[in-house]
Amino acid sequence: MIRASWIARRAGDAVRTQMHYARQGRITEEMEFVAERERLAPELVRDEVAAGRLIIPANVNHPELEPVAIGVASRCKVNANIGSSAVTSSLENEVEKLRIAVKFGADTVMDLSTGPDIVATREAILRASTVAIGTVPIYEAIERVADPLDLSAELLLEVIEAQARQGVDYMTVHCGIRWHHLPLAQKRLIGIVSRGGSLTAQWMMAHRAENPLFERFDDLLAICRRYDVALSLGDGLRPGALADAGDAAQFAELATLGELAQRAWAQEVQVMIEGPGHVPLDQVELNVEKQIELCHGAPFYLLGPLPTDIGAGYDHITSAIGGALAGMHGAAMLCYVTPREHLGLPELEDVRQGIVAHKIAAHIADVARHRPGARERDDDMSRARYGFDWDTQFALSFDPDRAHELHDATLRHQAFRTAEFCSMCGPKFCAMRISQDLSAGACGRPSRGAVPGQLLLDEYAAK
């Protein structure tokens, strides 16, 4: 637990949020840790945290954490949602999902459990997790009342405080959905698709009252400031269909989220903004630009986006397509979507598929943004490919077991692991081998002897 001693040393500080320290000009161990991982200067990390453009979700009660940076200056991150629901899964299974998610590269994990045993499941996940853990507190609050309409601001804040004490690093709260936004969403093809958003809207309509967490936002910030819980300002009005993308409801809420971000920063509370959802590919860049503008550069955390509604069974791919483009334009973190999205709760293999798809998307974004060192692994892979070094190729892929398995399924014998061809082309058609021969100058029949590469170049130059 690398963080235990860091936290202990700050026990007496009145405010312990990363943003507070950054604004004091102090570089914390967390900032140093992420700076090294990201190959960024610690001073840059500090300045980005101070400006609110980068967050390091790191609850003072989560010593198991290895901190992560989420922001436009750092690599694009991937979050995996896990969690039981009333109809499926168990505590042990959720911890196993956490293990799989981290193994395949999840940068953060959200525990979205909704069934019974929420508290115990979260405790098991937190204590087992080296990655930042996020939650959606309204899911637990709802379980504590007989009717969702019995929810109250007090109960929500009580749950949030309890989760903060437990060590949750960031929380999704749907504070941005306002009373005057609701009619805007009534014009939609499919209304409100965020669970937290729809529960909040239902409560507001039934009670003819403003969003309780919007009204009590200052109390919420006080809790976050105490434990350094980062807020993930949820987009309760995100579009759930292409037909509803980019409408007035979505952008009205986004503007509110921008105001809330500024109020959070005034309290030195770290904050990121959640984004859609279902968005046509030609609107992805616009979504990122609008978020940066309306939310003053706060990190953008996207659920997808899904650029089509019809990918059921393959929505990890749909989402990876939208996510890569969003990442290229500046999104800070992608929430994975699994093949089971729209169909059921993800199981272990879905978690693996979802993570790998989005790690690929995030990496593609890192390369496209020319982030420090991002392309080195690609170049190493290409060199290994050119050199027929199969074991290195497996090792450099996102899922070495899978790559190995696919290769060996066709060419089972151990000898093929060192063969200078694969089953795609067979020995006669291997472009890599021919290309190697060409650059070595061995381009003629063996009987003609090899022609040194330099000689050939001279010959070209003379033409």
Sites for a second copy among residues 392-411 (CB under 8 A): 393-394, 396-399, 402-403, 405-407, 409-411
CB of 171 to a second copy, least distance (A): 17
| Minimum CB distance to a second copy smaller for 4 or for 190 | 190
Please provide residue 72's backbone torsions phi and psi, each rounded to the nearest 5 degrees: -70, -25
Identify the residue among 142, 220, 271, 333 touching a second copy (CB under 8 A): 142
Q: Which of 290, 360, 371, 388 binds a second copy (CB under 8 A)?
A: 360
Does position 4 bind a second copy by CB under 8 A? no
DSSP conformational letter for 454: H
Q: Which two tokens stand for residue 24?
A: 């004091």
Backbone dihedral region of 105: left (phi > 0), alpha (psi from -120 to 50 degrees) or beta? left
The stretch near a second copy (CB under 8 A) out of 170-178, 217-225, 239-247, 260-268 is 239-247
The residues in 8-67 that bind a second copy, with binding defined as CB under 8 A, are: none
Nearer to a second copy, 232 or 318 (CB): 318
- Kindly determine how many residues on this chain lie close enough to bind a second copy according to the rule CB under 8 A: 126
Interacting residues with a second copy between 292 and 351 (CB under 8 A)? 307-314, 316-318, 320-321, 324-325, 328, 339-345, 347
Find the part of the chain contacting a second copy (CB under 8 A) among 159-167, 194-202, 216-224, 227-235.
Answer: 194-202
In the list 5, 85, 90, 418, the residue contacting a second copy (rule: CB under 8 A) is 85
Phi, psi for 10 (deg, rounded to 5): -100, 10
Under the criterion CB under 8 A, does residue 146 sit at the interface with a second copy? no
Q: Which stretch binds a second copy (CB under 8 A): 30-38, 83-91, 166-174, 256-264?
A: 83-91
Q: From 31-39, 59-67, 164-172, 434-442, give the range in contact with a second copy by CB under 8 A.
A: 434-442
Burial letters for 163-183: b for 16+ Cβ neighbours within 10 Å, e otherwise? bbebbbbbbbbbbbbbeebbe
Q: Quick one: which of 216, 226, 296, 385 contacts a second copy (CB under 8 A)? A: 385
Contact call for residue 415 and a second copy (CB under 8 A): no
Q: Which of 13, 36, 378, 420 binds a second copy (CB under 8 A)?
A: 378
d(CA 213, CA 159): 12
Partners of 231 in the β-ladder: 171, 271
Among positions 108-127, residues that touch a second copy (CB under 8 A) are: 114-115
Q: According to the binding rule CB under 8 A, does residue 148 interact with a second copy?
A: yes
C-alpha–C-alpha distance, residues 14 and 84, integer Å: 37
The separation between the first and the last C-alpha atoms of the chain, rounded to the nearest angstrom, is: 66
Q: How far is the CB of 362 from a second copy (least distance, A)?
A: 10
Cα gap 210→345, rounded to integer Å: 32
Q: Interior CA angle at 214 toward 210 and 219, to 5°?
A: 130
- Closer to a second copy by CB, 18 or 163: give it: 163
Least distance from C-beta 21 to a second copy, angstroms?
34
The strand pair at 70-71 and 54-55 is best described as antiparallel
